[in-house]
Structure 1
């Protein structure tokens, strides 16, 4: 048998293969060697046959795949399968009886907790608190897993082919509702018949009482803190139970109602069609027995006033004349500015430091238009050849056609 350390290492090295096999385990309880090799080849197309065989041997030696006692097939290690399904949220729906037995076990642990408080038996008190904490953890884990299992079940039912009979398509949904959601709803009933909230409330009161008694007796802070954490877990478990039950009911109830309505409608239609086939349409559905809304009524079709108005406006429609501007002459196009940027950069570097870059450009290049000056300004302050420092005082610079108000940049040597 492989050590846990080697198992975890092999699980890390071949996680994709193990995850794929865990998904296939829903349809195939055991795998032949050819199936495992096919999965390895699909996930690693570049691997040679020897490397695929080595991966199979590694999984077997690490005890991730276990050989069947009779035959040449393999199955996933139970603990590995549960671990992978827990991480990938691919849970199987649990049994309501298991959840009910764990809830009933809370009563026994609560009774022992009260006995430990009354008899001042710290060992019994600690053991009972640990037992309650473990039960709360198991119930929370099962509720969370069952919620994801319900969602997976509903999505799988919706993804089935639409031409499949609806009773067969939603068979798992009906089984899950009857065998899990309905017993769970009865168990979580807030009335006297429910056990979930009643047992949790008793355990919560017992834990709070134990914390108060230990505080009066001057017990260690760690002991009181441990009991307080268990009490908080009980409160959180009550909230989680309500949330999971509501989520499961909201997911499965619409599908269940769809199946029931479809069954009633299908039965009525089948009975009516059978009667029509045997007795004929006139004898099966006489006019005197038809519902009121099925009687023949005279109908007339008329055109409303709105339609007449639209038609009259359409007949009198006249297109609106739109005057387009005349084409500009070739000489009227604006001239493009040609700028020797290397010479401009050299001139700016020679004039450093410059207190106001835009004012300097306007003074040295007055023949350039305003768009070119602003473009050069933004390009020069973004260069790394020097340092651009923005002033905190606004100033105005008058260009050829516009006046620009800005917080000017000063150019200094880097």
Structure 2
């Protein structure tokens, strides 16, 4: 067994090298020579023999592990996670990691309740420890994923002129689709997270009340109180972490949405130019800055002379305009202002289904724009909206949506 002190001492002496190896681990493995080059770069006074011995030391302490049937190396997974934790460079996890632990909490609560009915204090204590460990793991996942999303946002905002906006924000969009949306469904009022937390909290409260009344299992009272407190903390921390992550990603998502809308309108405009010509397309859009008499006058002698001189050197340039996109639209796409939509919704006495009202009021609007308006209106303080207990299905431009719609707080059930 390797002495932990030797590993800690080696990491302390070569921490700058470890940081470089952690960054390289995200893109692939590395060779023994790469490690030697990194050690020499940060320790220029070492001889070649010393550099070789230090690199060999990494292998002996199992900080670096050779790949199977290869001469390439990788960081030990435990060392990598430890370094990422210190550097706040965690990789974004999956929503299923959190969901699996929540379902495990539900199973353990049933076992704990059975142990309490049998007055088995040792089993009750064991399940309490396991549940406490699962709650800590969920809190750890929320913290690591929030740090990973913060790193994604910082990298996306970096100046990379050679990449398009969609390429720069690809990881951000994947994070929203693969983590934010599934976790939002997980912590929904009817989702497994909230239902499990409420059920476990009720079970623990009933056990504490039973201890107060009967006096049995009194030695486990403090443990159950701490477990219930940590469970409530997990619920609050998870929701706050998810809210912060969404606040970090939403501005970038809105920027990409606006850029996509601009590209659509630009493609439509170029298609109209190809079909009608530049003059007929831009004539209604260009303001008239001269009178009729000025437009039909020939100009002065100097102007005519200069114009004829330029005609002598005129060369026709052929421009290849792109094919028309969205040719079925008769005008440029217009997205309504958010304040106008909110004002229009406020004029209604009752709003039984926000999603259907938006779909009926703006049938020509793309699905992503409708979902953006749906999300903003659901958060608006000017509208008194609440979740419906029943889900509804809505089909928009070929997309089928299933959700618990927002409705007016005084509206009846759907």
Q: What's the TM-score, normalizing by structure 2?
A: 0.66
**1:43 — aligned with what?**
42
**1:119 — aligned with what?**
118
**1:130 — aligned with what?**
129
Secondary structure class of the residue paired with 2:85: helix
Secondary structure class of the residue paired with 1:235: helix
Instruction: State the distance in 1 between where 2:149 and 2:205 align.
Output: 34
Secondary structure class of the residue paired with 1:18: helix
Secondary structure class of the residue paired with 1:69: coil
Query: How many residues are matched?
Result: 291
Cα displacement (A) at 1:24:
2.0
Cα displacement (A) at 1:119:
2.2
Mark the runs of 5 or more structure 2 residues left unpaired by the alignment. 292-414
What whole-Å deviation, never above 9, does each CA across 1:101-140 have from its counterpart, x for those lacking one?
Answer: 1112111111112212222222332222122101100000
1:23 aligns with 2:20: no
Secondary structure class of the residue paired with 1:30: coil
**1:98 — aligned with what?**
97
Higher alpha-carbon Rg = 1
CA gap 1:143/1:128 in 2 versus in 1, 3 angstroms: same
Instruction: State the distance in 2 between where 1:45 and 1:220 align.
Output: 65
Cα displacement (A) at 1:217:
4.3
Cα displacement (A) at 1:144:
0.3
Secondary structure class of the residue paired with 2:89: coil
Q: 1:262 aligns with which of 234, 249, 259?
A: 259
Cα displacement (A) at 1:90:
0.7
**1:232 — aligned with what?**
229
Secondary structure class of the residue paired with 1:75: strand
Q: What's the TM-score, normalizing by structure 1?
A: 0.66
Instruction: State the distance in 1 between where 2:179 and 2:159 align.
Output: 22
**2:376 — aligned with what?**
none
The root-mean-square deviation of aligned C-alpha atoms, in Å, is: 2.1
Trace 1:199-238 onto structure 2 (pairs within 5 A): 199-218=196-215, 223-238=220-235
Instruction: State the distance in 1 between where 2:162 and 2:62 align.
Output: 43
Contact 2:211-2:218 within 8 A present in 1 as well: no
Instruction: State the distance in 1 between where 2:29 and 2:89 align.
Output: 18
Instruction: State the distance in 2 between where 1:275 and 1:130 align.
Output: 68
**1:66 — aligned with what?**
65
Cα displacement (A) at 1:219:
5.2
Cα displacement (A) at 1:259:
0.8
Instruction: State the distance in 2 between where 1:173 and 1:21 align.
Output: 24
Cα displacement (A) at 1:222:
5.2
CA gap 1:163/1:10 in 2 versus in 1, 3 angstroms: closer
Secondary structure class of the residue paired with 1:120: coil
Cα displacement (A) at 1:205:
2.1
Cα displacement (A) at 1:150:
0.4
